[in-house]
């Protein structure tokens, strides 16, 4: 029985590796540079689209390599202009990403895993199984496709990227950082590190590694409770990553990067929205320079949490401000299409 060799995804090759491949094909090195630009700077999802290459070379590449591109599967548009997309991966799996339009920015919210291995009780993705990590190109493709939506729908360029979609980015550390490298590289999309935020549920040793690697992008920690008992209840990851270990990791991170951290705090009715909770949060904020995004809770079918009342929300934020904490109340976007924070869970087939 004849063995069919699986083609290698050409985007797993570095520019130097591509040059070596082209040398073996008897092609000049500049051809590798051209292909690399088509893959990352232009970018296109097929060899046929690489119009400045000879047809014979395009055919040769097509015979030996593949581009495992992400494809747009379904699109839903919210009443507030938010666009949620389901993306089909080369192996058939589905993930979701979101375009969040605002007056001053166009933000892409992208996924880093198919599903999630964490089981945060308030997050729809946490009720899914984690199938696998996304590779760097699959994360990159989400940004490319969402950027096209921003241009086509709003005639505006993408300005910001948040790794706040499906999955825990720091459990896919290598591919997440590789995707950011391509997004910010001059021979990639050339975006600014300052416009990229990676959000984590709180994995202390990986936060330390971010510091050791002296990353330049922004870090956000999904905190949601500033005492261990409550955080254990809604975020089981806290049982192995206590607030004390997170505090020490964040101090290490800040000492290496000098980057302030954003704490994300969902206010649940009669759970973490009282004055005592605000005091605990204010104390946690004293460890390193930071700001707090207070987030409305977005209901999901698996959990019976409720959003706190408007008066509680304002009182909570006001207390933090009086303690000198930089606070912003973040209103939910795309709630009517399950595109808001914590609502991403693929339902399409």
User: Of 27, 96, 138, 168, which is the active-site residue?
Assistant: 96
Highest mean pLDDT range out of 76-80, 303-307, 331-335, 338-342?
76-80
pLDDT tens track for 218-230: 999 999 999 999 9
- What are the helix and strand counts (H, E) for the chain? 10, 14
Rounded to an integer, the average pLDDT of 110-116 is 92
Q: What is the DSSP letter of 191?
A: -
**Does the annotation mark 290 as catalytic?**
no
Rounded to whole angstroms, the Cα distance separating 29 from 41 reads 18
Q: Which fold has domain 8-66?
A: DNA polymerase; domain 1 (1.10.150)
Of 92, 95, 107, 232, residue with least CA distance to 158: 107
> Is residue 202 predicted with pLDDT exceeding 70?
yes
Enter the pTM of the model.
0.90
For residue 2, what pLDDT is reported? 44
Rounded to an integer, the average pLDDT of 99-120 is 89
For residue 1, what pLDDT is reported? 43
How is 108-156 classified by DSSP, letter by letter?
A: EE--SEES-S---TT-GGGGSPP-EEPPHHHHHHHHHHHHHHHHHHHS-
**Local confidence band at 335 (pLDDT 50, 70, 90 cut-offs):** low
User: What does the mean pLDDT of the chain come to?
Assistant: 90
Domain ranges of the chain: 8-66, 71-337
Rounded to an integer, the average pLDDT of 207-216 is 98
**Does the annotation mark 244 as catalytic?**
no
Domain at 71-337, CATH homologous superfamily: Aldolase class I (3.20.20.70)
Q: What is the largest CA-CA distance in the chain?
A: 74
Query: C-alpha distances in angstroms, 94 versus 55, 111, 117, 122, 142?
Result: 33, 11, 16, 21, 12
Q: What is the DSSP letter of 48?
A: G
pLDDT tens track for 35-56: 999 999 999 999 999 999 999 9
For residue 347, what pLDDT is reported? 56
pLDDT tens track for 96-105: 999 999 888 8
> Is residue 292 predicted with pLDDT exceeding 90?
yes
For residue 75, what pLDDT is reported? 93
User: Of 116, 285, 290, 341, which is the active-site residue?
Assistant: 341
pLDDT tens track for 234-256: 998 999 999 999 999 999 999 99
> Is residue 341 predicted with pLDDT exceeding 80?
no
């Amino acid at each position: 029985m004849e063995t069919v060799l699986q083609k290698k995804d050409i985007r797993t090759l570095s520019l130097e590796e591509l040059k070596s491949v082209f040398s073996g094909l008897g092609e000049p090195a500049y051809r590798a540079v051209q292909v690399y630009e088509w893959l990352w700077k232009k970018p296109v999802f097929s060899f046929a689209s690489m119009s400045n290459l000879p047809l014979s070379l395009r055919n040769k590449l097509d015979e030996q390599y593949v581009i495992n591109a992400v494809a747009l599967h379904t699109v839903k548009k919210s009443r507030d202009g938010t666009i949620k997309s389901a993306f089909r991966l080369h192996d058939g799996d589905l993930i979701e990403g979101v375009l969040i339009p605002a007056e001053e920015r166009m933000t892409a919210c992208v996924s880093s895993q198919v599903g999630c291995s964490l089981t945060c009780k308030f997050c729809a993705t946490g009720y899914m199984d984690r199938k696998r990590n996304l590779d760097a190109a699959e994360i990159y493709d989400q940004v490319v496709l969402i950027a096209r939506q921003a241009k086509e729908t709003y005639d505006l360029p993408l300005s910001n990227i948040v790794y706040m979609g499906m999955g825990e980015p720091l459990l896919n550390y290598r591919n997440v950082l590789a995707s950011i490298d391509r997004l910010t590289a001059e021979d990639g999309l050339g975006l600014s590190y300052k416009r990229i935020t990676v959000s984590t549920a709180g994995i202390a040793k990986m936060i330390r590694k971010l510091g050791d690697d002296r990353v330049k992008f922004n870090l956000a920690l999904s905190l949601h409770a500033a005492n261990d008992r409550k955080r254990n209840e809604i975020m089981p990851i806290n049982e192995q990553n206590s607030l004390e270990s997170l505090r020490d990791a964040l101090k290490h991170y800040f000492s290496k990067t000098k980057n302030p951290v954003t704490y994300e705090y969902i206010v649940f009715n009669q759970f973490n929205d009282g004055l005592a909770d605000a005091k605990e949060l204010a104390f946690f904020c004293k460890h390193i320079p930071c700001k707090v995004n207070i987030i409305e809770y977005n209901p999901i079918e698996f959990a019976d949490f409720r959003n706190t009342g408007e008066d509680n929300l304002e009182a909570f934020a006001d207390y933090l401000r009086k303690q000198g904490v930089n606070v912003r109340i973040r209103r939910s976007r795309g709630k009517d299409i399950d595109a808001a924070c914590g609502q991403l869970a693929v339902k399409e087939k």
